[in-house]
Amino acid sequence: MTNRQSEISIFDQLLDHTKEINTLHMKDLFKNDPDRYEKFHLSAAGLLLDYSKNRITDKTLTLLIKMAEECHLKQAITDMFTGKRINTTENRPVLHIALRNRDNHPILVDGKDVMPEINRVLDKMHSFSDKIRNGSWLGATGKCITDVVNIGIGGSDLGPKMAIDALYYYKTDALNFRFVSNIDGTDIVETLKKCHPETTLFIISSKTFTTQETLTNAKTARSWLVEKLGEEAVSKHFVAVSTNTEGVRSFGIDPENMFEFWDFVGGRYSLWSAIGLSLMIAIGYDRFIDMLEGAYEMDKHFQEASFDQNMPVLMGLLGIWYTTYLGAESYAVLPYDEYLSRLPAYLQQLDMESNGKSIKKTGKSVDYKTGPILFGVAGTNGQHSFYQLIHQGTHLIPADFIAPIYSLNETGDHHDILLANFIAQPEALMKGKTPDELKAEGVKDELIPFKSFEGNRPSNTILFDKMTPRVLGALIALYEHKVFVEGVIWNIDSFDQWGVELGKQLAKAILPELKNKNQILEHDSSTNALIKIIREKRLK
């Protein structure tokens, strides 16, 4: 008996059930049950999820829901929402949900309500973002700000960058927004070329305020500003978002110009916190609040709906079904909305950093597959490249198709054509095309194997009216909770990220070796050789 089987009594039944499912084609499931869509769709927080094109039956769902119950998912949800220390390896509560707790009910950590602090920072963001937007915050030489540069990386970059793109339609025309994350000097140098020191505001976003990339980029930006405007200009052109007041102070930013967040907000869950400051400046306070409201609505749905009517729970269970039971290795997220271009990159971090784990909360190794490899691009672009593999390749790749019914830029036939493709792809993946159908169309015998599609390839379809801050909030919260559901059932800590540490440590050790020709190298032969080649050229 594997350790997973000993933990979940239903594991064997689910494994057995895969044999049954593998004999079924979705095309027949639709043919035999005209109500399949009716049964397998639901709406919440402005989103419609059609999950009927999945390789499931009523029995699959019954078993998956039993599994969720057996893994105490309900209790785990309550634990998160009430501030229990569910991030066990870091001994922290997980309270991004408190940042959008719009009914403001108390959420206690060690007996203290976190809401007053959250509201205080939100108010501070409100007043600051208003000043930047209405031009009353002046730079050191008395000019209004025209360019906002967020310097941060990972969770301190991807969220606001994705959301400003997603809500670009609502962005003020008076300001440009730029993001610098990469330690590659090209990123900051090319960004600074587009900015003028008198009218640029830098937001240094770093939870720890120790991140090498962010601090290095911030120092370069600071020198650029000081060289042009002098030291005293810093307070008008630099603000910080962090949990580390001392770090901010010693960098030379007045803590008065710091927007706090807290250890209970994980980096990849921090869009809702002051890490969203650039977004609030871009779209304004009211729309930022709308985004929080959308997420809050999804939070309520997640807490209150029964599992069989619960969007994040169902999506999480489907994720487990494909990854753990049907052997899928990857997962595509395909937004048919140009504004959501950065969503796949954002979800890559959310999903893969959260559930890319192989050690259970007990400290033992898992003996089942956990988080998948997530990828995707916006619109029909993928159809002209990697969809080939999704349709006819050897991998099972569940996909989420996401689209607005109305475009914010209705232009000629564009949106109808986009939607036609958006509807056609899941249909094609599900139905496929048989050799008989091809024969009837007169396709030559020798081409029939190449032109056949086996179909039976699963997808979810997510529809909403149009892209708004509220919809974006609900959509992101949906994926956060889906990832949470999976983590609970896989029994892993979705909120730590120890896997990123080793590379960081090694880079720290290699940096002095690259800078000193005489330093003795004690790595493997490949690593030694690469260091030598680089340093011999660079230290000439």
Q: Which residues bind ligand G6Q (CB under 6 A)?
A: 153-156, 206-208, 211, 214, 266-268, 353, 497
Two structure tokens written together for 442: 């007169």
Q: Smallest distance, Å, CB 267 to ligand G6Q?
A: 2
Secondary-structure percent of the chain, ordered helix, strand, coil, rounded to 5: 55, 10, 30
Q: How far is the CB of 204 from ligand G6Q (least distance, A)?
A: 9
For ligand G6Q, which is the closer residue by CB, 90 or 338?
90
Catalytic residue among 19, 227, 256, 384: 384
Task: Give the residue nearest to ligand G6Q (CB).
Answer: 154
Which is closer to ligand G6Q, CB of 267 or CB of 276?
267
Give me the amino acid identity at 78: T
Q: Which is nearer to ligand G6Q, 217 or 341 (CB)?
A: 217
d(CA 437, CA 178): 52
Catalytic one among 31, 72, 504, 515?
504
Active-site residue 72, yes or no?
no
Q: Say if CB 459 and CB 396 are below 8 A apart.
A: no
| Smallest gap from residue 275 Cβ to ligand G6Q (A) | 8
- Is 161 marked active-site? no
156 or 460, CB closer to ligand G6Q? Answer: 156
Q: Which is nearer to ligand G6Q, 13 or 208 (CB)?
A: 208
Looking at 297, 353, 480, 513, which residue is catalytic? 353
Cβ 221 to ligand G6Q shortest distance, Å? 15
Please state the φ and ψ torsions of residue 506, each to the nearest 5 degrees: -65, -40
H or E element: which one contains 131? helix 115-134
Residues 6+ apart with CB under 8 A from 241: 152, 156, 203, 204, 205, 206, 258, 259, 261, 273, 274, 275, 277
Report whether 222 contacts 238 (CB < 8 A): yes
Which of residues 310 and 497 has its CB atom nearest to ligand G6Q in the complex?
A: 497
The DSSP bridge pattern shows strands 238-242 and 200-205 to be parallel
Structure tokens at 198: 């008198």
From 481, 325, 398, 380, select the one nearest 5 (Cα to Cα).
325
384 is a catalytic site residue: yes
What is the smallest separation between the CB atom of 184 and ligand G6Q, expressed in angstroms?
16
* Contact in structure between 378 and 340 (CB atoms under 8 Å): yes
* Residues linked to residue 203 through DSSP beta bridges, in sequence order: 150, 239
The nearest distance, CB 95 to ligand G6Q, in angstroms, is 14
Residues with a catalytic annotation lie at: 353, 384, 504
